[in-house]
């Protein structure tokens, strides 16, 4: 059920609160209100094939996930919520608003997401507890300048991650 909540939050993060006036969100809400989930799903697929992934599509998926959850169709709700989450993350990445990281593969194939801050920083990952700490360093900035100067390499983005043990885990 956390995925369903995440899907609703993703729609709100994208600022896609629907107002009256029609469109995919209203169509899906109307179909969901009558528990016609097949029609709602067809509406979403049709919209997606013509308009692609948009904030409205994500909101419509979120509404459909909530409606199926309310109808106790948990597997279906989970599938819609998962799809909403993944499409939201993909859209945020394409818009350059977040970065996807796989810090030290701490959770196997799990990935982390963070807002783009506009500055490069170092990630320190604790190999025992999984805590991630971000560190901004003048030395890191100097290293980037040195690479640019000595190697004639223009750096657009730099990532550095280190693995070790945080102060709590060393006690």
| Interval 56-74: pLDDT, tens | 988 899 888 988 888 888 8
Helix (H, G, I), strand (E, B) or coil at 5: helix
Do 88 and 151 share a domain, yes or no? no
129 is in which domain, residue-wise?
Answer: 118-170
Classify residue 89: in a domain, yes or no.
Answer: yes
State the chain's mean pLDDT as an integer.
Answer: 81
Do 6 and 89 share a domain, yes or no? yes
Strand 122-126 and strand 98-101: the pairing is unpaired
In the structure, what pLDDT confidence band is assigned to residue 45 with cuts at 50, 70 and 90? very high
Cα atoms in the Cβ-side hemisphere of radius 13 Å centred on 46: 11
Do 62 and 129 share a domain, yes or no? no
* Phi-psi label, residue 99: left if phi above 0, alpha if psi -120 to 50, beta otherwise: beta
Classify residue 112: in a domain, yes or no.
Answer: no
pTM of the model: 0.57
Classify residue 100: in a domain, yes or no.
Answer: no
**Could you count the other beta carbons within 10 Å of the beta carbon of residue 78?**
18
């Amino acid at each position: 059920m956390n995925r369903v909540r995440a899907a609703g939050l993703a729609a709100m993060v994208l600022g896609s609160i629907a107002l009256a006036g029609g469109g995919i969100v209203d169509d899906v809400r109307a179909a969901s209100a009558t528990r016609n989930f097949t029609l709602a799903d067809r509406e979403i697929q049709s919209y997606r094939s013509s308009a692609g992934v948009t904030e409205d599509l994500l909101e419509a998926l979120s509404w459909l996930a909530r409606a199926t959850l309310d109808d106790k169709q948990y597997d279906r709700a989970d599938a819609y919520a998962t799809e909403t989450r993944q499409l939201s993350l993909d859209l945020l990445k394409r818009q350059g608003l977040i970065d996807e990281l796989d810090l030290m593969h701490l959770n196997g194939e799990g990935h982390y997401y963070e807002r783009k801050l506009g500055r490069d920083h170092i990630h320190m990952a604790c190999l025992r507890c999984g805590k991630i700490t971000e560190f901004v360093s003048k030395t890191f900035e100097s290293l980037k300048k040195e690479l640019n100067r000595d190697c004639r390499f223009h750096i657009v983005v730099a990532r550095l991650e280190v693995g070790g043990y945080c102060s709590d885990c060393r006690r």
